[in-house]
Amino acid sequence: MYSTELVQASEELLRLCRTKGIMLATAESCTGGLIAGVLTEIAGSSDVVDRGFVTYSNEAKHEALGVGTDLLDQHGAVSEAVAKAMAEGAMTHSRAGMTVAVTGIAGPGGGSKTKPVGLVYIATAFENQETQCRKMLFEGDRAAIRYQTVATALVFMKDRIT
């Protein structure tokens, strides 16, 4: 179901988390749970993966993660501010020591001049550290954008740990 590259990246991330005693949680919008899916594709991942939030709508982001409606209204769901709030909300609503959040426009529609298809924000919150966010502009069809988002999120999490 998942590519060899994504499975290998997940295995490496899970090994690092086990070594450092870090639990993970995901907060996903444009990927619809694919990050949690590839992490839990690995047998035994339950010792590292606490939970995954799929918060596709603004209401879900607010209700499940506590993202402020004012933040969503001011910046829009696809923004650095909301990605960071999603990552921080996942920390608050889980047992995780590190979280990743993704929000973006996977297409084929929904883009605009200021927020084109392929624009994705990936944020990681790490216990007792500042939340970090990366703004990405991926190319390709919906599947390619979602794949690149998952791959980049796995690398971003690994980078935060090492």
Q: Concatenated DSSP letters for 10-64?
A: HHHHHHHHHHHT--EEEEESTTTTHHHHHHTTSTTGGGTEEEEEE--SHHHHHHH
DSSP, residue by residue, 89-105: HHHHTSS-SEEEEEEE-
Calpha distance 30→50 (Å, rounded):
20
Given this model, what pLDDT does residue 1 score? 83
DSSP label of 8:
H
The residue among 67, 69, 72 whose CA lies nearest residue 93 is 67
Helix (H) or strand (E) holding 149: helix 142-161
pLDDT at res. 144: 98
State whether residue 137 is helix, strand or coil.
strand
Question: What is the number of domains present in the chain?
Answer: 1
99: Cβ–Cβ under 8 A, 6 or more apart, which residues?
24, 25, 26, 27, 87, 88, 90, 91, 124, 125
Over the stretch 87-121, which tens digit does the pLDDT of each residue have?
999 999 999 999 999 999 999 999 999 999 999 99
Q: Give the domain CATH number at 116.
A: 3.90.950.20
Could you read off the pLDDT of 32-91 as tens digits, one per residue? 999 999 999 999 999 999 999 999 999 999 999 999 999 999 999 999 999 999 999 999
pLDDT at 6: 98
pLDDT value for 36: 98
d(CA 63, CA 88): 14
- Predicted confidence at residue 136, as pLDDT, reads 98
**Arithmetic mean of pLDDT, 121-132:** 97
* Interval 127-140 mean pLDDT: 97
Domain that holds residue 88: 4-161
Kindly give the interhelix angle for 142-161 and 4-20, rounded to the nearest 10 degrees. Answer: 20
